[in-house]
Structure 1
Amino acid sequence: MSRDNDQNAHPEKLPGGLQSIRSALSIKAVSAGVVATLFGCSGPALIVISAANAGKLSNGQTVAWLFAVYFLGGLISLIMALRYRQPITGAYSIPGAAIMSAALVAIPFSEAIGAFVMAGVIVLLLGASGLVGRVMRWLPMPIVMAMIAGALIRFGVGAVESIGAAPLIAGTSLLAFFLTSRFLKSVPPVLIAAVVGFVVAYASGSIQAGDVDIAMVAPQFTMPHFSFDAFMAISIPLAALVLGAENAQATGVLLAEGYRPPINAMAVISGIGGIVAGFLGGHNANIAGPMTAICASEQAGEERERRYGATLVNGVLFCAFGLFAGGAVPLIQALPKALIASIAGVAMIGVLLAALQQAFNKQVGYQVGAFVALVVAMSKLSLFGISSPFWALVAGIAVSALLRETTHAPIERRKETVATVEKHT
């Protein structure tokens, strides 16, 4: 499937079969998988629906789009989690869905579908060539970690802002999380926070039917047409988002948590997912940064080698959401946005701490470049249809090269770091 060394992709060798899978499905893993699903099936689903409305798609075409990205995204989670025993989680590019809102105004949907397929082909070829792995091996890890922290910090900020939007719901949810972390070590704090927040939201009458109006209709598939304009406007930016934002975020998160991600295989399956999703009417299905971050965090369990259970749960629920998208979207949207934001924010704490610690480790260096990458990733910068995480890497590396920043670690430590990074790819 790729040039990755599959053996190196495993943090530990685990016993195969159903027994190992059963042990991975701990309460914490299940709760983290549910949180990732709530995050991925709430606001992001509305972005897809908004893009579909901008393109004046029929209900059947909209349902087909949702089916493609969620069902295939869930299938990617199941394949990668079972193959590599890592929380490599699939979904789709949320920024990619956002740029479709503008693109579909001027480009016919049939041509957009052709562009979706071509974007998948680009990602597949780059992954199969091994180029993605070589690029990731070359990138300075502090700058990659700073990009991860900057891209994910918005979830922490969103948790804080949720208190202003719904003080009672978000406040009690966050308080439940920290009290559980302090006094009930054996209980997943994210799960308790979600339950408490839901109970408070229900008691206060904040759970209402969503405004999304999609009937339970069969998916309507559209034949792709290929055009140069759609290729330039959609295929290239979408491929850049998948590799430069989603896969890069997921890779950085996994590295920060101590895994050895199969980088080229992640690109290959993202390419295959993009091609298949395109033919079904969806903009892509690939490895997802935010969902991987939630499933790879400590909230999914203390044992790293068992956290892939969260990805399995997320994969099953994503597949189910894709199959029943027409009726599931209004149900998800009945939950208060503040509740989802607060839970997603606290689920990111462990990943953010690990990324920041590795980004600004004085023994490694690249301090200024890492800072530039951090603030660029935190911004809403978008150039040529490509969002800030990609430009964070570009800016961080450019500044480090301009300042001639190098590692301050001893030669022996530098060699050890290089050898470790090489194992990742």
Structure 2
Amino acid sequence: MRPSHQKPATTRAAIVAAPGPEPLLERPELRPAGARQVLRDIGRPYVSNGVIGLIFTASGPIAVTLAVGTAAGLTQGQLASWVFGTLFSGGAATLIMSLLYRQPLGFAWSIPGTVLLGPSLQHLPFPEVVGAFFTSGVLILALGATGVVRRIMAAVPMPIVMAMVAAVFLRFGTDIVASTQANPGIAGPMVGAFVVLSAVPALGRFLPPVLGTVLAGCFAVAVSGQFTPGEAGPFLAAPVFTPPEFTWAAQLELMVPLALTVLFVQNGQGTAVLRAANHQPPVNVFAIASGAFSVLNAAFGAVSACVTGPTNALLTSSGSRERQYTAAVTYGVLALACAALAPTLTRLMLATPTEFVLALGGIAMLRALQQAFVTAFATTFTLGSLVTFVVTLSGMDLFNIHAAIWGLVIGCTISRLLERADHSAS
């Protein structure tokens, strides 16, 4: 019989061995990267991915922002301030988070949130919308601080999340076809360059395929004479502060949809893409950082900050996993530089043909789209994934809530009811 005096020791050992509660704020697994570490790890593929990520972020998304803001009657100063705020916060958040965690953690701004604002800006004064920007940022920050975001996202199976990502990313693939048909003189050489550089590894190592796509597109635009710069304007950004007004009408219409879009559509995409690339993104810290930088954005009259799925897909598209954070560092530095040059950058990007932007975005996203479909439909939860994909693709926006959120809710519900074996095995 074991002596009685040994029992407390055994109990203490068991207590020590038992895992403690998961910390609210995820801690970095490695030491933060300093300047010397970045210089050792950076290389041509990572610089290329960072540049492509910035081109992607500073082209189509800015065009969406300008279209929504112009339709709402915002002044040129307000639009430039919006662009400055989103690029500045995206660059700063990316630099801080990527160096701290030594992972490619790319931030930008919520494009679904920007689109969601379109109807609201038609009947709400802009100061009231800015008030909703502030409160939604505080709500995002508060939800991140409670830890509820990580628990909710952990409860959703990865294939179902990636089905949502696949539905959102699908338009990038179809954009390649549409742009090639509409403007073969521009998109055709871009597609050809990507295929050749991908098919011949020796060439691809010398010139990364997506970077070759950019160069081919720029050459085609220059030769075809389709570069049409607009009227000259301010060179440097001059941020404008719009005093917020807090009204029940704007808060009820925008606060919760904006917060849900950031936390579960945008950050959900970004987290899923990073996990598919074998990274371990800090979900709660993502939410807290998104909330804090969303409040900063609101000071410039700009929509909420978020982790971005497409940009992170580009930052992780090639190279060694341990060195991919340098692509995010490149992206962050360039985003900060472009923030200062926001009016000039906007004019240059809008001077290129639409098909150049569409083809570049689609080609750059092909690998990410492929990975999303493979993860969503290769093994388990395939019915729930299919329902999520279909609902998200449908564009349903009941109660002003983005279709991707409805896709996750309905897909998870169907999966729980009809795929019980998959849930039991997981």
TM (normalized to structure 1)? 0.89
- Name which one, 1 or 2, has greater alpha-carbon Rg: 2
Instruction: Give the one of 255, 279, 294 matched to 1:259.
Output: 279
Instruction: Give the one of 84, 87, 91 matched to 1:70.
Output: 87
Q: Once structures 1 and 2 are overlaid, which stretch shifts more, 225-234 or 378-387?
A: 378-387
Partner of 2:334: 317
Q: CA deviation at 1:360?
A: 1.7
Instruction: Give the one of 367, 389, 401 matched to 1:386.
Output: 401
What is the rounded CA distance, in whole Å, between the counterparts of 2:278 and 2:48 in structure 1? 21
What is the rounded CA distance, in whole Å, between the counterparts of 2:227 and 2:421 in structure 1? 53
Question: Conserved in 1, the CA contact under 8 Å of 2:32 and 2:99?
Answer: no
Question: Conserved in 2, the CA contact under 8 Å of 1:59 and 1:217?
Answer: no
Q: CA deviation at 1:68?
A: 1.2
Q: CA deviation at 1:210?
A: 4.6
Question: Conserved in 1, the CA contact under 8 Å of 2:416 and 2:423?
Answer: no
Matched, 1:337 2:351: no
Q: Percent identity?
A: 37
Structure 2: runs of 5 or more not aligned: 1-22
Partner of 1:79: 96
Partner of 1:201: 221
> Would you say how many aligned residue pairs link Structure 1 and Structure 2?
401
Question: Conserved in 1, the CA contact under 8 Å of 2:227 and 2:353?
Answer: yes
TM-superposition CA deviations, 1:169-207 (whole Å, max 9, x none): 211111111211121241311111110111111111122
What is the rounded CA distance, in whole Å, between the counterparts of 1:157 and 1:97 in structure 2? 22
Question: Conserved in 1, the CA contact under 8 Å of 2:257 and 2:402?
Answer: no
Question: Conserved in 1, the CA contact under 8 Å of 2:316 and 2:324?
Answer: yes
- Go from structure 1 to structure 2 and tell me whether the alpha carbon gap of 1:338 and 1:55 turns closer, same or farther (over 3 Å shift): closer
Report matched runs for 1:99-178 at 5 Å.
99-178=116-195
Q: Once structures 1 and 2 are overlaid, which stretch shifts more, 52-61 or 137-146?
A: 52-61
Structure 1: runs of 5 or more not aligned: 415-425
Question: Structure 2: which amino acid aligns with 1:228?
Answer: W
Partner of 1:306: 323
Question: Conserved in 2, the CA contact under 8 Å of 1:257 and 1:354?
Answer: no
What is the rounded CA distance, in whole Å, between the counterparts of 2:32 and 2:115 in structure 1? 42
Partner of 2:70: 53
Partner of 1:399: 414
Q: CA deviation at 1:404?
A: 3.9
Matched, 1:296 2:322: no
Question: Conserved in 1, the CA contact under 8 Å of 2:91 and 2:107?
Answer: yes
Q: CA deviation at 1:16?
A: 3.8
TM (normalized to structure 2)? 0.88
Question: Conserved in 2, the CA contact under 8 Å of 1:156 and 1:346?
Answer: yes
Question: Structure 1: which amino acid aligns with 2:168?
Answer: A
Post-superposition, which runs of at least 4 consecutive aligned residues in structure 1 deviate over 3 A?
13-16, 210-217
Q: Once structures 1 and 2 are overlaid, which stretch shifts more, 332-341 or 158-167?
A: 332-341
Cα RMSD (Å): 2.1
- Go from structure 1 to structure 2 and tell me whether the alpha carbon gap of 1:261 and 1:62 turns closer, same or farther (over 3 Å shift): same
TM-superposition CA deviations, 1:207-255 (whole Å, max 9, x none): 2215897786733211112111111111111111111211000011011
Question: Conserved in 2, the CA contact under 8 Å of 1:114 and 1:226?
Answer: yes
